[in-house]
């Protein structure tokens, strides 16, 4: 395990702020040093940490990997301080902790909106919007909105999810807030939700997602790296970030697949969470540096 970036004093400060000065969290968000969404090479590398709010704490075989908030924040701090990391994706609790720690200056902040479809729940396909909302993100100076969009043709909860997502796209566009949709074609298998990662299914999910809302002018996509990514990217003109997925695959193979996909038209970078925050060898900085070099080759 690499050396820690944060210490007991940092965490004590966060606890003190939350207990005695909660208003300073919003001030820290709104007053932080801002940056353009795209600059330089026009690419983005975002570290994702919105998994716990959906009850998804596992990484690989470790069912409780993300349960320790202090460990997660330390890993995020390490990642955010590496060259080439443009920002972070998280639910309000994570973003608030990072703001209290002063780690969001000159970073793109992406707010995760719908975490209500809890992993393993009977209502998992009911992806209600229980996190950030557009008004709050605009007020707090959050740069991008993000929603998960799982489409299950055999589950009636998909219909209200589509409608609510469409409203979010329309509302975000009216506020000129970029909104990133993460679409999947999903199904129930032995009591759990499985995402179809076939090329045709990903293309179908794109077709559905990019048509939501009264305008797609501010819509981005967050897509998995699958077979035949050339066909996938031919399905959309929307700016796209690649989804890193969970740990488990050989790291060298994962990085190689990202490198190829990053060269395709329309791909603007990576949004990766557990794969880099919890690498097999525990060296967060090294894993992040490799990914940053793929996104920003001239780094």
**pLDDT value for 245:** 67
Tens digit of pLDDT for each residue in 132-142? 999 999 999 99
pLDDT-derived band at 3 (thresholds 50, 70, 90) equals: low
pLDDT-derived band at 232 (thresholds 50, 70, 90) equals: very high
**pLDDT value for 61:** 86
**299 CB-contact burial (10 Å; exposed 0-12 / middle 13-18 / buried 19+):** middle
With a cut of 60, say whether residue 1 has pLDDT above it: no
With a cut of 70, say whether residue 32 has pLDDT above it: yes
pLDDT-derived band at 67 (thresholds 50, 70, 90) equals: very high
pLDDT-derived band at 252 (thresholds 50, 70, 90) equals: confident
**pLDDT value for 249:** 65
Contact between 244 and 273 under an 8 Å Cβ cutoff? The reply is yes
Tens digit of pLDDT for each residue in 195-218? 999 999 999 999 999 999 999 999
Residue % of the chain over a pLDDT of 90: 90
Domain positions in the chain: 8-295
Residue % of the chain over a pLDDT of 70: 97
Q: Can you tell me the mean pLDDT for 123-137?
A: 96
**HEC per residue, the chain:** CCCCCCCHHHHHHHHHHHHHCCHHHHHHHHHCCCCCCCCCCCCEEEEEECCHHHCCCCECCECCCCCCHHHHHHHHHHHHCCCCCCEEEECHHHHHHHHHCCCCCCCEEEEECCCCCCCCCCCCCCCCCCCCCHHHHHHHCCCEEEEEEEECCCCCCHHHHHHHHHHHHHHHHHCCCCEEEEEEEEEEECCEEEECCCHHHHHHHHHHHCCCCCCCCCEEEEEECCCCHHHHHCCCCCCEEEECCCCCCCHHHHHHHHHHHHCCCCEEEEEECHHHHCCCCCCHHHHHHHHHHHHCCCC
CA 56 to chain centre: 13
Of the two residues 251 and 192, the one the predictor is more confident about is: 192
With a cut of 70, say whether residue 146 has pLDDT above it: yes
**pLDDT value for 60:** 84
The fold adopted by the segment(s) 8-295 is TIM Barrel (3.20.20)
Half-sphere exposure of residue 283, counting CA atoms within 13 Å on the CB side? 7
pTM confidence score? 0.95
Cα Rg of the chain, angstroms: 18
**pLDDT value for 247:** 53
């Amino acid at each position: 395990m690499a050396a820690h970036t944060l210490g007991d004093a940092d965490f004590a400060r966060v606890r003190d702020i939350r207990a005695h000065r909660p208003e300073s969290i919003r001030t820290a968000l709104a007053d932080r040093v801002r940056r353009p969404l795209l600059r330089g090479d026009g690419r983005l590398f975002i570290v994702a940490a919105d998994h716990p709010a959906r009850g998804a704490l596992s990484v690989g075989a470790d069912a409780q990997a993300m349960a320790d908030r202090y460990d997660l924040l330390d890993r995020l701090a390490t990642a955010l301080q590496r060259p080439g990391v443009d920002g972070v994706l998280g639910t309000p609790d994570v973003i608030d902790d990072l703001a209290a720690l002063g780690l969001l200056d000159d970073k793109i902040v992406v707010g995760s909106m719908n975490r209500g479809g809890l992993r393993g729940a009977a209502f998992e396909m009911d992806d209600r919007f229980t996190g950030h909302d557009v008004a709050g993100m605009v007020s707090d100076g959050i740069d991008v909105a993000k929603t998960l969009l799982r489409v299950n043709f055999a589950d009636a909860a998909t219909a209200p999810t589509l409608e609510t997502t469409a409203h979010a796209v329309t509302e975000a566009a009216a506020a000129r807030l970029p909104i990133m949709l993460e679409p999947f074609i999903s199904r129930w298998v032995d009591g759990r939700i499985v995402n179809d990662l076939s090329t045709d299914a990903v293309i179908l999910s794109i077709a559905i997602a990019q048509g939501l809302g009264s305008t797609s002018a501010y819509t981005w996509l967050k897509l998995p790296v699958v077979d035949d990514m050339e066909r996938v990217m031919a399905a959309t003109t929307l700016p796209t970030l690649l989804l890193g997925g969970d740990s488990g695959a050989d790291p060298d193979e994962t990085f190689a697949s990202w490198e190829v996909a990053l060269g395709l038209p329309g791909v603007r970078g990576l949004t990766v969470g557990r794969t880099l925050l919890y690498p097999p060898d525990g060296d967060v900085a090294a894993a992040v540096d490799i990914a940053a070099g793929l996104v920003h080759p001239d780094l």
